[in-house]
Amino acid sequence: MRLLAENLSAHRGEDLIFSNISFELKEGQALILTGRNGSGKSTLLRVMAGLLRPASGTISFWYDAARKAHNLGEVAHYLGHRNAMKTELTVRENLAFWKDFLRDAAGGTGYSVVDAARAVELEQVLHLPFGYLSAGQQRRMSFAKLLVGYRPVWIVDEPTAALDVSAEALLARLMREHQVRGGVILAATHQPLELLDVKRLEMKGFEFAAGDED
């Protein structure tokens, strides 16, 4: 499994947000984006997910030497600032819908709805409408969405927003488990997430600095 981004740059309207960003991730690696507000972390993640068209550059994903994905978005989960869950439906209905709609990408199987809720330690609220949950519980449940359908790549934007310390540790553990199974993670975060085999990329607006770190 190999994820390669070459010379990416992106505009928002007329403004250049970042330019010439390149990186490569292999099985089990994680890329952590840091940088001040407005430096382009979220924009880069949306470009990676295929939701924004890059002004230049290419993104490619190989399952193995021979097989290449059509685009990264279809083998990736994206967890943005918004939870992508319907407040009118119960948690179980939400997760069951996403499990059915997302299906599994090649190379793995997702958790059942109950197992995913158990993994984020919230199986007792499955029957409640999503809107009744607290902000932290909502965030954890939308993270459970990443577990119900298998995707090798997780693109997460501030996954630990609104979470307490123990929930933060819980999500970090789930992300590490994903890495152990061979998954790749791209995360933008201000919290020191403890992941395995981390590469860091500091977004500085126009310039950038990349380095390896374990």
Contact footprint for other proteins (CB under 8 A): 46, 49-53, 70, 73-74, 76, 78, 80-89, 93, 96-98, 100-102, 105
- Please report where in the chains the tokens 């119900």 appear, as a residue: 148
**Shortest distance, position 78 Cβ to other proteins, whole Å:** 6
38 DSSP 8-state letter:
T
* Residue nearer to other proteins on the CB measure, 21 or 49: 49
Of residues 12 and 36, the one with the C-beta less far from other proteins: 12
Q: C-beta of 210: minimal distance to other proteins in Å?
A: 26
Long-range pairs for 113-119: beta carbons < 8 A, 24 or more residues apart: 113/148, 115/147, 116/144, 116/145, 116/147, 116/148, 117/91, 117/92, 117/141, 117/144, 119/144, 119/147, 119/174
Q: How far is the CB of 214 from other proteins (least distance, A)?
A: 31
CB of 97 to other proteins, least distance (A): 5
Tokens of 172: 């970090």
Q: How far is CA 203 from CA 15, 32, 50, 157, 194, in A?
A: 15, 10, 19, 14, 19
User: How far is 112 from 174, CA to CA, in rounded Å?
Assistant: 15
- Strands 198-204 and 184-188: what pairing? unpaired
Beta-bridge mates of residue 15: 12
Considering the complex, state which of residue 108 and residue 197 has its C-beta at the smaller distance from other proteins: 108
Q: How far is the CB of 163 from other proteins (least distance, A)?
A: 17
- Both structure tokens of 155: 């693109």
Nearer to other proteins, 17 or 199 (CB): 17
Which residue, 39 or 43, is less far from other proteins as judged by CB? 43
Task: Give the shortest CB-105-to-other proteins separation in angstroms.
Answer: 8
Phi/psi of residue 46, nearest 5 degrees:
-70, -35
Place of tokens 């993994």: 119
